[in-house]
A = this chain, B = another copy of it.
Amino acid sequence: MRVAVLGATGAVGQEMLATLESRKFPVSDLVLLASRRSAGARVNYGGCEIVVREVCPGAFEGVDIALFSAGGEASRIWAPKAIERGATVIDNSSAWRMEPDVPLVVPEVNPGALAGHRGLIANPNCATIQAVMVLNPLHKVAGLEGFTAVTFQSVSGTGKEAIRELASNSEALLSGEKGMSSVYPHDIAFNVLPHIGGFDEDGISEEEWKMIRESRKIMGLPGLKVNCTATRVPVFRGHSEALCAVFRNPLSPDEARAILEAAPGVCLMDDPGSYRYPTARNSKGSGSVFVGRIRKDTFWEMGLMMWVVSDNLLKGAALNAVQIAEMIQGEGICVS
């Protein structure tokens, strides 16, 4: 297959290339694209150096699958042009996710949504993917009434400049100096910012709305009750989430553990007394969604609480996109 990657030099673009390679996606030809600013960069793929080209309409000629991770604005401009030229676009931005005729797909959760796609498939928000990976198998058994999510999101979700800002501001503070914040409105070093994306007039952030709306669409539960507080924490890679899930039917922690142990793509890590629970640092480089600290809710009679961690650049972005590409390519879902 002729594969294009738009945003090839970004944090997610780089992981898309690594994932295509590690999963042996049948790439016959690879077209690496980026904005003018990043064009000319050289990227290694399968032992070959490939020059990143500036994106233009002609770049999509003959492309079968185009993986996009260059932000919403680029997606809105280039997705229609790529589709016109026959490519199927798998878009990691939020530009198209809530369009009714665009499938929003987590292969383990709603593979059926891919049927009849019109050349554009949206890859969901990173924090939402890891939540639904765990909630959906439980929902199938006990009927999900709603959930609350508080996220602890790493700076790699913002991109490479944010990774640099966390490193340099942490170094500055440890040396007793003041760091410069340009990516974030406040210093992220040794701090927590309850702020991801812009705020609406009710004070809810874009990231919080993504968790609410995208989880409903992916699980096909338009009436799902959801609330979310999305925060940025001084972690380089790996998003953590505290979830409380409320069910219509009784579900014990042991039943939930058994369900999640068998769930594809989910890794149960739940023995807190022996210090076994997922952490962001441990999730790095893994394609799994880790879940632990499963316990009865002390607020809701029918609630369960849990701690969910995943590498936001992999299952939260690049891996999920490549899994969608694999389904399109007709191989079915192959879960790492």
Contact = CB atoms under 8 A, between A and B. Distances in A.
A294 B235 CA distance: 25
A127 B253 CA distance: 26
Interface string A115-143: 00000000000000000000000000000
A281 interface: yes
Nearest to A301: B225
Nearest to A230: B242
Interface string A269-280: 010110101011
B148 A299 contact: yes
A286 interface: no
Interface in A242-279: 242, 244, 253, 270, 272-273, 275, 277, 279
B170 A174 contact: yes
A233 B303 CA distance: 25
A277 B195 contact: yes
B242 A204 contact: no
Nearest to A203: B295
Contacts of A33: none
A191 B228 CA distance: 21
A45 B48 CA distance: 67
Interface centre among A195, A242, A253 (most CB of B within 10 A): A242
Contacts of A174: 167, 170-171, 174
Size category of the A interface is 35 or more
B275 A191 contact: no
Interface in A148-205: 148, 150, 152, 166-167, 170-171, 174, 185-187, 190-195, 198-199, 202-205
Contacts of A307: 194, 229
Contacts of A293: 194, 203, 229
Contacts of A292: 194
Contacts of A244: 148, 227
Given A199-B272, A244-B227, A275-B186, A146 B191 contact: no
A92 to B, nearest CB: 24
A190 B277 contact: no
A240 B192 contact: yes
Contact of A227 (B191, B225, B273, B298): B298
Given A192-B240, A198-B273, A226-B299, 5 more contacts: A152-B192, A152-B231, A152-B233, A170-B170, A195-B272
7 closest cross-chain pairs (CB), A and B: A227-B299, A203-B295, A229-B242, A150-B150, A185-B275, A191-B281, A199-B272
